[in-house]
Amino acid sequence: MSSSEVIGLEAQEARLVLPRFTYEDAWALGTLLVSLARERKAPVAIDVRRGAQQLFHCALPGSSADNDAWIDRKRRVVERYGESSFLVGARFRAKGTTFEASSRLDPDRYAAHGGSFPIGVEGAGVIGSVTVSGLPQAEDHALVVEALERLLSAYGADAG
């Protein structure tokens, strides 16, 4: 991954900051992800958290306990770095290495693969994460981004 792709992912994260994030918003985000995944027949597991509290979890047909383990590993990267698991992995690749080779973190506990995204709130910073596992990493990441974009648009529609 090139430095321009890293810059694009950084811009994406800066753009996807929410005005708030309530229990109802967690439900809306989780159910939106379920709807998008079902439309695509995507065999994914979905996890939404605020801090350490799991607010939403769903496993769709075709997913397995392995996806839950991947969710935990990707989410830990977001918690540690405050950035999406895809961006963290991209930063290492842009430097000509890998997260596994250079992070000094246990690969059984951390995975810088796409699919976990920080939930950022205006004026508060990163307060949680949303994670999808079951597709190739770029597709996991894209599914989460699409859902966050739709949620952010819904906030705008509520204001107008």
pLDDT for the residue numbered 155: 87
> 110 near 103, Cβ under 8 Å?
yes
pLDDT for the residue numbered 11: 97
Q: Which residues of the chain have pLDDT under 70?
A: 1, 157-160
pLDDT for the residue numbered 2: 75
pLDDT for the residue numbered 156: 80
- The CATH class of the 3-159 domain is alpha beta
Report the distance separating Cα 124 and Cα 112, nearest Å: 24
